[in-house]
């Protein structure tokens, strides 16, 4: 299984398999740290215990002010990548996103990553499916007005919830 072979830590949400470029140029808004997740209840991968703010594996956008925000699929913001870390950090670790006001994100059309954070519809998708940003900032197969964020290379299974995605942005 990919999770065992690659050292994916289940609570981290993202494992970079082939890195294009990491970027942390734009600033976070307050919502990037405090906005509740799963408001549209589109993913069983998000629970009441899920931290607020941008999560590792979420699609991020740049808004008209140049800030990095959680992508919402149908907004005028432009998707720029996938968040590498939870913006609020993890317990007993550095909270560098909070301290710096930045969230690193992965971008580049050659980048490949594995994540277990996505909309429920992705769990039944086949390899080759186009992935978009949902209204919750998660990867989805539902076509939105937004651009294609990535292509599904490996689908989730009942024994391995991680999907593998090659980015298109």
Q: What is the pLDDT of residues 75-122, one digit of tens each?
A: 788 899 999 988 887 666 666 677 788 889 999 998 999 999 999 999
**12 or 107: which leads in pLDDT:** 107
pLDDT (average), residues 143-169: 91
* pLDDT at residue 149 is higher than 80: yes
Task: Tally Cβ neighbours within 10 Å of residue 158.
Answer: 6
Tokens read off for 147:
């651009």
* CA proximity to 73, closest of 56, 84, 59, 83: 59
What is the edge-to-edge ordering of all strands in the sheet holding 130-133? 14-18, 112-115, 163-167, 150-154, 130-133, 139-140
pLDDT above 70 covers what percent of the chain? 86
| Average pLDDT over every residue of 10-29 | 84
Once rounded to an integer, what is the mean pLDDT over residues 13-18?
Answer: 89
Mean pLDDT of the chain: 85
Provide the token pair at 65. 């002010």
């Amino acid at each position: 299984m990919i999770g065992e072979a690659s050292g994916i830590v289940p609570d981290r949400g993202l494992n970079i398999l082939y890195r294009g470029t990491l970027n942390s140029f734009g600033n976070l808004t307050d919502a990037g740290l405090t906005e509740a997740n799963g408001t549209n209840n589109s993913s069983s991968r998000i629970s009441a215990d899920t931290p607020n703010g941008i999560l590792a594996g979420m699609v991020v956008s740049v808004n008209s002010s140049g800030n990095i925000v959680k992508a919402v699929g149908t907004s005028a913001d432009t998707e720029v990548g996938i968040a590498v870390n939870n913006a609020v950090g993890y317990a007993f670790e550095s909270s560098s996103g909070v301290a710096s006001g930045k969230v690193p994100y992965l971008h580049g059309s050659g980048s490949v990553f594995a994540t277990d954070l996505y909309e429920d519809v992705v769990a039944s998708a086949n390899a080759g499916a186009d992935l978009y940003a949902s209204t919750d900032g998660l990867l989805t197969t539902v076509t939105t007005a937004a651009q294609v964020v990535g292509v599904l290379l490996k689908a989730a299974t009942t024994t391995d919830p991680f999907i593998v995605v090659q980015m298109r942005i």
